[in-house]
Amino acid sequence: MRLQEYLAEVTKIVLLEPDEERALWIGFKQRGEMDGRLRLIEQYQPLVVKALSRWRGSNEALLMDLVQEGTIGLIEAVENFDPDRGVAFSLYAIHRIRGRMLNYLEKENKTRQLSLDTPCTEAEGMTVADTLADMTLPVAEIAEQNFLLAQMRSAMDRLPLKERLALSGVLLEEREPGQVASSLQISPSHLSRLQKQGIRRIRGMLSRLMGELKRI
């Protein structure tokens, strides 16, 4: 398969809903469902392209070698990932993917043979830089956003009851602050204080989480 064909296939990937992805992880990890394993590998193939884009020069053959190595890293990540650990898979996998690519380059002593401004094909006139820049790779970003949203909801669930109700009424249920204050039988100023307290607690919880992620 050529680079352009590979990238075209990646752009066809349909994103999984969070609940659907969670079901695949459970099926694979707890019941050994190999179809789910394959779908997870396909779903996160854009991470390979994301890792590939960090190199500033190479020819198409070398890029495809890196795609193969990155895919092996992705498979290893799927095999070893623990969904119960509380870490987004994309954050976990990208390190393994890049590691495989770097190890390959070091082992083979590959040199950068072409500039990114060199066309991939004479007929198309597309450069490697153009090809990678034109790729829309929302999978990693959306996965991370879904993960952080889930963590925020989890943090909100750990708030004291009134702080949780004060925040969820406005942020999740999209009710007017006056309505939320009335339902809680408190003043608008008291509602505002509860929201600020809740936000501070959530920030503290999420800051600790992000600190842990940086150490991965």
User: What CATH code is carried by the domain that includes residue 175?
Assistant: 1.10.10.10
What are the φ/ψ torsions at residue 57 (nearest 5 degrees)?
-175, 130
| 69 has pLDDT over 50 | yes
More confident residue, 79 or 140: 79
Q: Which residues are bridge partners to 127 per DSSP?
A: 119
Q: Has residue 150 been placed in a domain?
A: no
The answer to the question of residue 181 being in a domain is yes
Q: Which amino acid is at 139?
A: V
Q: Answer yes or no: do 163 and 128 share one domain.
A: no
Last residue of a domain, one of 96, 120, 135: 135
Query: What is the total count of domains within the chain?
Result: 2
Domain co-membership, 48 together with 129? yes
CA proximity to 63, closest of 135, 6, 122: 6
Domain end position, chosen among 100, 135, 170: 135
Q: Which DSSP symbol is given to 84?
A: G
For residue range 1-41, what is the model confidence (pLDDT) as tens digits? 787 788 888 888 877 888 888 999 999 999 999 999 999 99
The SS3 assignment for 114 reads coil
Mean pLDDT computed over 131-151 = 58
- Quick check: is 175 in a domain? yes
**CB-based contact 140:147 (threshold 8 Å):** no
Task: Verify that 24 and 126 share a domain, yes or no.
Answer: yes
Residues 8 and 95 in one domain: yes
Q: What is the CATH number of the domain that holds 54?
A: 1.10.1740.10
Give residue 147's pLDDT: 64
SS3 of 115, please?
Answer: strand
Same domain (yes/no): 123, 181 = no
| Mean of pLDDT values over 117-130 | 48
**Whether 120 contacts 3, CB under 8 Å:** yes
- CB atoms near residue 73 (< 10 Å): 25
36 and 85 fall within a common domain: yes
What pLDDT was estimated at residue 140? 56
- pLDDT recorded at residue 213: 56
Q: Are residues 81 and 24 in the same domain?
A: yes
d(CA 148, CA 78): 20
The mean of the pLDDT values for the chain is 80
What's the predicted TM-score (pTM) here? 0.60
Same structural domain, 100 and 131: yes
Residue 21 domain flag: yes
Structural domain for 171, as ranges = 158-214
